[in-house]
Amino acid sequence: MLKKILITGGAGFIGSHVVRLFLKKYPNYFIHNLDALTYAGNLENLSDVESLPNYQFVKGDITDEQFVNDLFAQESYDAVIHLAAESHVDRSIKDPLAFVRTNVLGTGVLLNAARRFWKGSAGKLFYHVSTDEVYGSLGENGLFTEETPYDPRSPYSASKAASDHLVMAYHHTYDLPVVISNCSNNYGSYHFPEKLIPLMINNIIHNRSLPVYGQGENIRDWLWVEDHARAIDVIFHTGKVGETYNVGGFNEWRNIDLVHLLCRIMDLKLGKPEGTSAKLISFVTDRAGHDLRYAIDATKLQKELGWAPSLQFEEGLEKTVQWYLDHPDWVRHVTSGEYLSYYQEQYERR
């Protein structure tokens, strides 16, 4: 069946994996990738698929109502898979309104266009890709389920919670067919080096210190980005309208243990004596309001839609490290410019 799908944020980390998967797996779908190409968006992420005949890049800002409405008026989209967002918690602490603008207003603009242009049409779907951070912070025990009440604690997670609520409000109020997934921490290729795993890999390569916030006791549940893209594919095609699905790796790591594991992998890859990279670890001022632990219960997705993570963490991490070692040009391009001043401000004063 022919489908025309608007994927937002397709030039980012997860979005580029989703665009690639859909282009390759569904050659009869037309994929429009709408992205503003902020510091986090990079068309190099899609250089291997950009010449496919079913792909088109559209540069634009989701907060620009006129632009988004014109696009919906011009193209008859069957579905939206919405990933465009400001995604980094530390940046949300410095500039919360940028997150309100893109994540809340931008999602509202897209929802409004879908409501207006899809009115009365069957077979449409608005899929919002969201985060487990909307559920807040866990203590030592328990997992986030789809029934866990929202309790966001950073400007980033509050903006994603607000956008989730808007999506559901459009479903209940206007009957807009929607689905939401809330995923844990992703890792893999094309991950912007401001995030923990690629930051540590890049810093080890350049013999820079490894800034671990607080005592490194915080826990995250890590999922291979291609497994997340597979989950999005499954939910997009077989998820129930109006439902939310949690996506996670059943793979919890304390930050400090993860950084030590990365150091061991890097020592092996770089042919350095064991313990060399770990000497770079430096405990720095904690993130404000740092959520202690996230852990996802992805049973609903496993049981109802048959999805499961495919890759063991150690294997995925080894592949990820190798990808960064093989792509120094990509890392250099994305970390030049604006990122340099961000890095200095974020780390050199800590």
Active site (annotated) includes residue 132: yes
* Minimum separation from the CB atom of position 274 to ligand NAD (A): 29
Task: Confirm or reject binding of residue 114 to ligand DAU (CB under 6 A).
Answer: no
Contacts for 107 with CB less than 8 Å, ≥ 6 apart: 62, 82, 128, 163, 166, 167
Q: Quote the tokens at residue 198.
A: 């690629």
Residue 204 to residues 59, 106, 208, Cα–Cα distance (Å)? 34, 36, 6
Give kind and range of the element (H or E) at residue 31: strand 29-35
Task: Confirm or reject binding of residue 155 to ligand DAU (CB under 6 A).
Answer: no
112 vs 159 by CB, closer to ligand DAU: 159
Active site (annotated) includes residue 44: no
Residue from 79, 83, 113, 263 that binds ligand NAD (CB under 6 A)? 83
Nearest to 244 by CA among 299, 296, 180, 306: 180
Residue from 19, 85, 114, 229 that binds ligand NAD (CB under 6 A)? 85
Task: Confirm or reject binding of residue 203 to ligand DAU (CB under 6 A).
Answer: no
Residue from 40, 104, 219, 232 that binds ligand NAD (CB under 6 A)? 40
Question: Closest residue to ligand NAD, Cβ-based?
Answer: 12
* Planar angle of CA 156, 184, 34, nearest 5 degrees: 60
Nearest to 84 by CA among 140, 147, 8: 8
| DSSP letter (8 states) at residue 329 | H
Task: Confirm or reject binding of residue 36 to ligand NAD (CB under 6 A).
Answer: yes
Active site (annotated) includes residue 133: yes
CB atoms within 10 A of CB 223: 27
Task: Confirm or reject binding of residue 14 to ligand NAD (CB under 6 A).
Answer: yes
247 vs 321 by CB, closer to ligand NAD: 247
What phi-psi label fits residue 3: left (phi over 0), alpha (psi between -120 and 50 degrees) or beta?
Answer: beta
5 vs 83 by CB, closer to ligand NAD: 83
Residues contributing to the site for ligand DAU (CB under 6 A) = 87-89, 131-133, 184-185, 195-196, 199, 211-213, 218, 220, 255, 287, 294
Just list the catalytic residues.
Answer: 132-133, 156
